[in-house]
Structure 1
Amino acid sequence: MKNAANTLANWIEFPVLLAGLIIAGGLWGFEELMEVARATTPHAFDTEILLAFRQAGQPSDPIGPLWLEGAMRDITSLGSASVLVLITTAAIVYLLLIRRPGAAFLMFVAVAGGQVLSSLLKLGIDRPRPELVSHLVTETSLSFPSGHAMLSAVTYLTLGCMAARFLPGRTTKIYVLALAVLTTLLVGISRIYLGVHWPSDVLAGWCAGFAWAMLCWLAARALQRWRGQSDSV
């Protein structure tokens, strides 16, 4: 009995509890936002925030100086499929070179699975892009959830979690994870600024992305623990 209690205590650690809370919160938030996306008329929450990024009475003119619009286009590219594929491929190759095939496989499953999940969710909800303001970049896919927001969360958070495992000191670990979260947040905000997503699309993308990344991390952790126990038998 005591051994079983010790084993349970070893498994239920603060990072595991935090990951579980993120998954639960992400799923709950996504479900709530899905109701907003399925409504026949845009929610006031969506319209007010989207219009807040435009000059009053000028839905085609974003707020801020001209350079800010260019900066937002640059930031949004950090969540584009081509950039994320490049980053993911580079990370997988590096992990294979340092003989970390398990981590490389986790990276592939997390990002590829996130892409498939995002596409299925878009088809299932079938929400069109917002027409309330002009689009500052061209997009042709469905709107909910934001693929940029979701896949940025999956990719950068997975990279941050893996990098934190090899970095010394708590401060550097927190810095890397904070940088991953900040990049994800900036990408999502850029999608709203550019007028190609409702705010609820971006929030849903973050919810789904963080939940999926944490679920993959927990699965990898459980597999690592199981393999360690098997090797010791």
Structure 2
Amino acid sequence: MRTQRKLSRLDRVFARLDREPERPADIDVPRMSRHRVVLFSATLAFYTAIVWAVVVSSWLVRLDWQVMFFRPYQQWPQIHAFLDYYVVLGQRGPTAVMVASWLGWRSWRQHTLRPLLSLGAALLLLNITVGAAKYGMGRLGPHYATVIGSNEMWRGGDIFPSGHTANAVVTWGILAYLASTPRARRWLSALSAVTSLGVGLTTVYLGTHWLSDVLLGWAAGLLILLALPWFEPLIARTETAILDLRDRRRVGRALPAPVPAPVVASPRASTPRKAPVAGEASAREPVPATRAARPPVYLAPGPHTTRGERTPVTPAGSRRPPQPERVPRGTAPARPLAGG
């Protein structure tokens, strides 16, 4: 009995790299369910509460100053070098390139632009909302604080909310949002939560953000992920428009050269001629509407046939030209008569 060979891990990897023959029909698109609406509302309320607590200089601002005076980077200097590299996981450029590479491969494999378009929509929302909040509230960071105990609001800063934290939540959370199975979505959600939590606490350790900046950054990133299902119809229409434009360009390049239209005779040529009447001596023949094409000047008049259609003709007689002075063979030349 012949048994089937067990696939190795490398074989499974190469099988996974094979492209789907067509777009899968069971792509799970998240919907704006009631549970998601409740989470969005709760996160929005948390966002508003953090902003209000900082504006009124509540206990949260006092906690910010206590953490700043604690100076974590001086308490644990041995992890400073590692966290300098770890915080890169929250920077916009490197993380966007890494995640876009993975989602680009998924788009190519599944014949769909939805992963890349979802990432683009999330980053666009992130730039608009977080950027507007940063420059609108203008809070200064711990290294640039001027008055002890102050909330440092509206002084030309741009650190509230934390951009590193919000970017980490959105960039790594989009992988969980686009996961194809519930199990993968759970694992990726936990991984993105831990990564964004570590990035936010790293900025507090390095002294570049207040603790309240990090809390507001988590809320800002989570709001974008929870609101993405509202933009799914727009993403679908954009994908359809891009694919239609691509198909029209392909069809335009594959069209053959246009064939010239046939020449249509004028209606006068198809009009029947009148029979000549007896007794009209000077009746002229009607001139046809289209004249016959004249032969080229270098051809003799008359019908011409191709060389293959001509009948071979054998010439009669000798082909040599006549020579009157030549004496034919077998006859002696006439001798002159001698006199005498």
TM-score by shorter chain over 0.5: yes
1:22 equivalent in structure 2:
39
2:166 equivalent in structure 1:
150
CA distance in 1, matches of 2:121, 2:185: 23
Name the larger-Rg structure.
2
Equivalent positions of 1:181-200 (< 5 A) are: 181-200=193-212
What's the CA shift for 1:71? 1.8
The question of whether the paired residues in 1 share the 8 Å contact of 2:135 and 2:157 is answered with: no
Equivalent positions of 1:94-173 (< 5 A) are: 94-98=105-109, 99-131=111-143, 142-163=158-179, 166-167=180-181, 170=183, 172-173=184-185
Aligned partner of residue 117 in structure 2, secondary structure: helix
Tell me which stretches of 4 or more aligned residues in structure 1 moved more than 6 Å: 221-224
CA distance in 2, matches of 1:25, 1:221: 24
Q: Percent identity?
A: 20
Structure 2 counterpart of 1:69, from 77, 80, 100: 80
What's the CA shift for 1:33? 1.4
1:84 equivalent in structure 2:
95
1:47 equivalent in structure 2:
65
For residues 47-68 of structure 1, what are the alpha-carbon distances to aligned partners after superposition, in whole Å with 9 as ceiling and x for unaligned?
Answer: 22334453xxxxxx522242x1
Query: Cα distance 1:17–1:49, how it changes in 2: closer, same or farther (>3 A)?
Result: farther
What's the CA shift for 1:45? 2.0
Query: Cα distance 1:31–1:65, how it changes in 2: closer, same or farther (>3 A)?
Result: same
CA distance in 1, matches of 2:37, 2:198: 24
1:32 counterpart = 2:32: no
Q: Which amino acid aligns with 2:124?
A: A
Task: Give the superposed CA RMSD.
Answer: 2.9
Runs of 5+ consecutive residues of structure 1 not aligned to the other structure: 1-12, 55-60, 134-139, 225-233
State the structure with bigger RCO (CA 8 A, min sep 6), 1 or 2: 1
Query: Cα distance 1:91–1:114, how it changes in 2: closer, same or farther (>3 A)?
Result: farther
Aligned partner of residue 144 in structure 1, secondary structure: coil
Q: Which amino acid aligns with 1:115?
A: N
1:231 equivalent in structure 2:
none
CA distance in 2, matches of 1:220, 1:63: 47
More helix by share: 1
CA distance in 2, matches of 1:129, 1:65: 21
CA distance in 2, matches of 1:91, 1:108: 14
Aligned partner of residue 143 in structure 2, secondary structure: coil
Q: Which amino acid aligns with 1:28?
A: A
The question of whether the paired residues in 1 share the 8 Å contact of 2:100 and 2:116 is answered with: no
**Length, aligned pairs only:** 195
Q: Which amino acid aligns with 1:32?
A: A
The question of whether the paired residues in 2 share the 8 Å contact of 1:145 and 1:205 is answered with: yes
Of 215-224 and 42-51, the range deviating more from structure 2? 215-224
The question of whether the paired residues in 2 share the 8 Å contact of 1:110 and 1:154 is answered with: yes
CA distance in 1, matches of 2:98, 2:127: 14
CA distance in 1, matches of 2:64, 2:122: 29
Query: Cα distance 1:25–1:52, how it changes in 2: closer, same or farther (>3 A)?
Result: farther
CA distance in 2, matches of 1:52, 1:223: 46
1:7 equivalent in structure 2:
none
Runs of 5+ consecutive residues of structure 2 not aligned to the other structure: 1-30, 146-155, 237-340
The question of whether the paired residues in 2 share the 8 Å contact of 1:92 and 1:108 is answered with: no
What's the CA shift for 1:198? 0.6
Aligned partner of residue 143 in structure 1, secondary structure: coil
CA distance in 1, matches of 2:107, 2:185: 22
